[in-house]
Chains A and B, each alone.
Chain A
Amino acid sequence: MLEINNLHVKLEEEDKAIIKGLSLSVEPGKVHAIMGPNGSGKSTLSYVLSGKDGYEVTDGDATLLGEDLLEMEPEERAAAGLFLAFQYPVEIPGVGNMTFLRTAVNAQRKARGEEELSAGDFLKLVRAKAKSLKIDADMLKRPVNTGFSGGEKKRNEILQMAMLEPKMCILDETDSGLDVDAMKLVSEGVNALRDAGRSFLVITHYQRLLNHIQPDVVHIMADGKIVKTGGPELALEVENNGYADILAEVA
């Protein structure tokens, strides 16, 4: 599904390397988790994969289902099936959440040569999905993320994911800021989407999320690289002992 090979990334504006030779392969239907200390480059990786400006790839490559991701515009990556649930979802005053969702769904359908959803069908779909995430009608009417609480923003990300049905979902700390109940809701939302043709890359600091969304593989990222890969037990080890032992071991 997602193949990252020896990826090197620096900031465009300054001579600062952030991703330093990262390789990763997520197979279809699998859930991979990435854990790692603050500042290790996890969000940067998610931004580079989704096409944000400001970064320069100096070496390596990344493909989604065999297509060169790095050559595509952000919207093309989305249409190709990539989705990033942002660590910090952006507030967009003046753009209604509903209008935004419908425009996004139809833009992707159009890009893939599919028919646009009728207003009626769209409404039905969004209402059903919003309900399961306990997102009320008011939140759908309000401007995108504007004045949403931290947890509401994260649920809104998952709603977008559910509506867009991407193939490769990157979740950047979707659990942070969620209360216990919201964490369950969000996890259920994610689990409902799990299937053989869809993969997940879950970035998190806490093992707790991985109790709900069980990963197949856990990676530890430090200083721009994957330094250790293992099974779910690796997350437990981090939870109990922190990163010191792992980092010492690979140093």
Chain B
Amino acid sequence: MALPQAKQDTTQARLSALALPQDGGWLGAARDAALGRVRAMGLPGARDEYWKYTRPAALTAPKAGTAAVLVTDEAPVFDAIDRVKLVFVDGVFDAEASDAPELAGVEITQLAEAGAADIHWAKDLYGVLEAAGQVPVERPLAALNTAAAEQGVVIRVTGKAAKPVNLIYRHVSETSDAMMHHVVRVEAGAELTLLENGPAAARLNSVLEVDVADDAAFHHVRAQGRDHDRVAATHIFGRLGTRSLFKSFTLTANGALTRNEAVLELTGDDVSAHVAGAAMGDGDFHHDDTVFITHDAVNCESRQVFKKVLRNGAVGVFQGKILVKEGAQKTDGYQISQSLLLDDDAQFLAKPELEIYADDVACSHGSTSGAIDEEALFYLRARGIERAEATDMLTIAFLAEALEEIADEALADDILSRLESWLLRRRG
């Protein structure tokens, strides 16, 4: 079926503005295949059902818009955590600003170099999980990323990493347009914590493909910076093996437009897969969490916990789906999406979905949207706590369930302190 003309035009205009890499080799082949997917699907348009609540125009335009660079003397997130730092400036790897990529049990290669080498495991992953994740719902921006990204890291984990790997995304140029594609393979029994922080660029398109083998664990904590004007589309594709653990948490404070997609395929039995997010929006802020979790094995547990604090015209979106395939018995699926609206101008749109083809499953989902609980607020004030502080306490309490999804206490405390500062900066 031919694509609508408008979609063809948008797609063609975007592709024309890109200098597509011409490297050949296995990476070149993967990119070519992805380019074919982009052409076949076309980039998202405002009429697409999957983009009903979020306008994709800024993400699909030929050029990035302008985004002021936030200047702050606040210490960066994760600064106090012992970790291996890999710095990307406007989406381009900066070796000088980075640590040596040396960590026992972890092999780290830049994507640019990986293409020239015959890294067979990466070949089986790059663009592969993304391609698999195009069914049943298309994610063309991810395919575009596979086709065009030249930056990113390729990480193989063979043991229990002693410390986290931290991808640090600095935003320096007001019109930067970044594309990064990371590939992670956590081998059987291995463990890695991956940290990402920073706004990355005026516009970011990022893809993270994660293959978690049997008995392996992958922890992911991400903070998307505090820049106000930046726009971002991110995708996480996960394939999770038997008894593996996958935990991802994202903090988004500010940002004119963010679309975070997580697509997880539970392929082995006894998997535990958690995706969570806390989003804080004040004013020109549109934040969209789109999650698709497929249970294709027995006795797996998945959790989606998304909380949004919105004020002053901020908009929150949640589209979350749990798909339980035939035979995926004893599935325990949980999904909650909630927004706290701090005034009448904020808005939350949610589309929670369950699709179940097995009979012995326990799935629950809920979505709520509400204001601060006046009874609780009065109770705190009656004990002498000022209105602003009491409101912040209740706001943090609202976010608690999402924060609890961060397993490491030091990381959780760091994120919590960011939430508290964000609120503190807004006290009247």
State the A residues within 8 Å of B (CB).
Answer: 50-53, 73-75, 77-79, 84, 86, 89-90, 92-95, 99-100, 103-104, 107-108, 111, 143-144, 160, 164
With A92-B376, A92-B380 given, name 10 new contacts (CB 8 A): A73-B386, A73-B387, A78-B384, A86-B382, A90-B379, A92-B379, A92-B394, A94-B394, A111-B384, A164-B384
Contact partner of B382 (CB less than 8 A), chosen from A84, A92, A93, A111, is: A84
B393 contacts A78, CB within 8 Å? no
Q: Indicate whether B400 reaches chain A with its CB closer than 8 angstroms.
A: yes
B401 contacts A78, CB within 8 Å? no
A164 contacts B383, CB within 8 Å? yes
Give the distance to chain A from B142, nearest Cβ to Cβ, in Å: 35
A95 contacts B394, CB within 8 Å? yes
B382 contacts A50, CB within 8 Å? yes
Chain A residues near B381: list those with CB within 8 A. Answer: 51, 73-75, 78
B393 contacts A95, CB within 8 Å? yes
Chain B residues near A108: list those with CB within 8 A. Answer: 383-384
A103 contacts B379, CB within 8 Å? no
A53 to B379, CA, bound (A): 12
Give the distance to chain A from B393, nearest Cβ to Cβ, in Å: 6
Give the distance to chain B from A85, nearest Cβ to Cβ, in Å: 10
A74 contacts B382, CB within 8 Å? yes
A179 to B258, CA, bound (A): 54
Query: Given contacts A53-B378, A89-B379, are A94 and B385 in contact (CB under 8 A)?
Result: no
**What are 17 pairs between A and B in contact, CB < 8 Å?**
A52-B382, A78-B384, A84-B382, A86-B379, A92-B376, A92-B380, A92-B394, A93-B400, A94-B399, A94-B400, A94-B401, A95-B397, A107-B389, A108-B383, A108-B384, A160-B383, A164-B384
A103 contacts B376, CB within 8 Å? no
A125 to B209, CA, bound (A): 52
Q: How many A-B residue pairs have CB under 8 A?
A: 79
Chain B residues near A74: list those with CB within 8 A. Answer: 378, 381-382
Give the distance to chain A from B169, nearest Cβ to Cβ, in Å: 30
A39 to B413, CA, bound (A): 47
A75 contacts B378, CB within 8 Å? no
Contact partner of A103 (CB less than 8 A), chosen from B387, B389, B397, B401, is: B389
A68 to B380, CA, bound (A): 21
A186 to B249, CA, bound (A): 44
B398 contacts A94, CB within 8 Å? yes
Give the distance to chain A from B370, nearest Cβ to Cβ, in Å: 13
Chain B residues near A95: list those with CB within 8 A. Answer: 380, 393-394, 396-397
A93 to B242, CA, bound (A): 35
Give the distance to chain A from B378, nearest Cβ to Cβ, in Å: 5
Chain A residues near B374: list those with CB within 8 A. Answer: 53
A79 contacts B378, CB within 8 Å? no
Contact partner of A107 (CB less than 8 A), chosen from B375, B386, B401, is: B386
Give the distance to chain A from B109, nearest Cβ to Cβ, in Å: 42
Chain B residues near A93: list those with CB within 8 A. Answer: 397, 400
A99 to B397, CA, bound (A): 11
Closest to B403 in A: A94
Q: Mark B313-330, 1 if CB is under 8 A from A, else 0.
A: 000000000000000000
Query: Given contacts A92-B394, A94-B400, A103-B389, are A79 and B376 in contact (CB under 8 A)?
Result: no
Give the distance to chain B from A132, nearest Cβ to Cβ, in Å: 20
Closest to A77 in B: B382
Chain A residues near B397: list those with CB within 8 A. Answer: 92-95, 143
